[in-house]
Chains A and B, each alone.
Chain A
Amino acid sequence: MLEALQFEFMRNALLAGLLTSIACGVIGTFIVVNRLVFLSGGIAHAAYGGIGLAFFFGLPYVAGTLGFALLVAMVMAAVTLKARPVGMALGVILLDLTPGYNVDLMSFLFGSILTVPTTDLWLMLVLNGMILLAVACYYNDFLALSYDEDFAQVRGVRVKFLYFLLLAMVALSVVMIIRIVGLILVIALLTIPPYIAEKYAGSLKKMMFLTSGATIIMVAGVCFFISLLVEFLKAKRFFSA
């Protein structure tokens, strides 16, 4: 495993995994406690649509995906602000409306953790920084909003603004994670670790830390199996040659 780190792509893969874990820990926690799972699924599928659009119009992948995912997230926030359950329905509809999977876009279905370029790492670092800063600034407000929206509003929390901010952060994370593990696993990665952590964490903060930890292990596990697979394939070629 250590020798593998000599390769730049392996180092990048590991860093990408770590950066993803942080986003998963923080945003996944909010997705689970606010019951935004289906909404996030909708955003993920919209982001995939964004990838398609970006390819079609020849835009850079990141700009297209990020822009489209953010746009959809804001529309969803506006629609679901008054009626949260609509969010679920909307997610399901969007999931249904997504154009058929393009073969060229297969890599985004499954992600490509081994081909993350260094420029993407920098982008992920910036997105992570933005998410952490926003959550740190509004932690108490987010906590109140997540636990008891009406009470938060009576206390003067800017519920509307924070809800839009939250969904924007979900969109950012989704775009980041699709790059790594792909569309199919993005919701799994955003929700399974927080669900596990929720049982053991005493506070929202601890839930975020635990989730990050759990995600690191999940990503590390995936990396480990991929590296095994690579070696297995190499060995096979060796024998066949």
Chain B
Amino acid sequence: MNEPIIEVKDVWFFYNGIPVLQEVNLTVRRGDFVALLGPNGGGKTTLLKLMLGLLKPERGAILVFGESPRESSHRIGYMPQHLHFNQSFPISVLDVVLMGKLRPGLGWSRYSQKDKMAAQQALERVEMEEFANRRVGELSGGQQQRVFIARALVDEPEVLFLDEPTTSVDTKHQTDLFDILKELNKTVTIIVVSHDIGIVSSHVKSVACVNQQVFHHDDAEIKEEMIELAYQCCPVDIVAHGLPHRVLQTHE
């Protein structure tokens, strides 16, 4: 067992007095590839934002590398949900990736040659180097997702957070994307928010079901009771399409 790098201890979070997360406990160990699964509004993104330090828990504590998420933010890579991007924003692919090298108090100094090299390399890792000077808004959804992965990677984080990396991407690109992530997982711990059980189960090492409460399963096998717990609100067969009979690979 590797050492735990993220510890969520008895965390509660409310939006306008309505509990979104209750009594959440979660431990992520180095080298893990965790999927946060759950229905819309179940609190997946909220949990992710709590671990990133973007939100503060009402109760409980969150430690990342033994410190508060804010203090260890330089060791974190983050890819936000895709929906929020302004597609007409004038910015090149390279500049988006360089944003991942941003340091507070950089002042008016520009990015160094070293930073630019690192950005190029990050683009190569996601096979997007030829688009470096294109405007991001001109790229397809799948290509943009790769650029945002490159941005999350460029500062060589130890842990990578991805929020719905496969929305607006077709099945082929979804698989490609998760293959890239699987490759990255050799060196980086990954936490990914998704509501796509199919793609997740064949790539991740463990699954945490998030629906107000969190249940962490140390293998990626999708179990019937997991689906029931995660999707209490809806009948199992709609979500799972006969999944209870499907046997999924387990990881050692």
Q: Which chain A residues have a beta carbon within 8 Å of chain B's beta carbons?
A: 33, 35, 136-141, 143-144, 146-148, 150-158, 198-199, 201-204, 206-207
Contact = CB atoms under 8 A, between A and B. Distances in A.
B78 A154 contact: yes
Given A33-B90, A156-B73, 16 more contacts: A136-B108, A137-B108, A138-B107, A140-B102, A140-B106, A147-B86, A147-B99, A148-B80, A151-B99, A154-B54, A157-B102, A158-B104, A203-B91, A203-B92, A203-B95, A206-B90
B135 interface: yes
B107 A203 contact: no
Nearest to B135: A202
A106 B129 CA distance: 57
Nearest to B152: A151
Given A202-B135, A203-B95, A148 B85 contact: yes
Interface string B127-163: 0000000010000000000000001000000000000
Contacts, number: 83
Interface of B: 49, 52-54, 70, 73-74, 76, 78, 80, 84-86, 88-92, 95-96, 99-100, 102-104, 106-108, 111, 135, 151
A33 B53 contact: no
Query: Interface residues of B: mostly helix, strand, loop or mixed?
Result: loop
A199 B89 CA distance: 9
B92 A202 contact: yes
B99 A143 contact: yes
A141 B102 contact: yes
Nearest to A206: B90
Contacts of B76: 154
A144 B102 contact: yes
A29 to B, nearest CB: 9
Contacts of A156: 70, 73-74, 102-104
Contacts of B106: 140-141
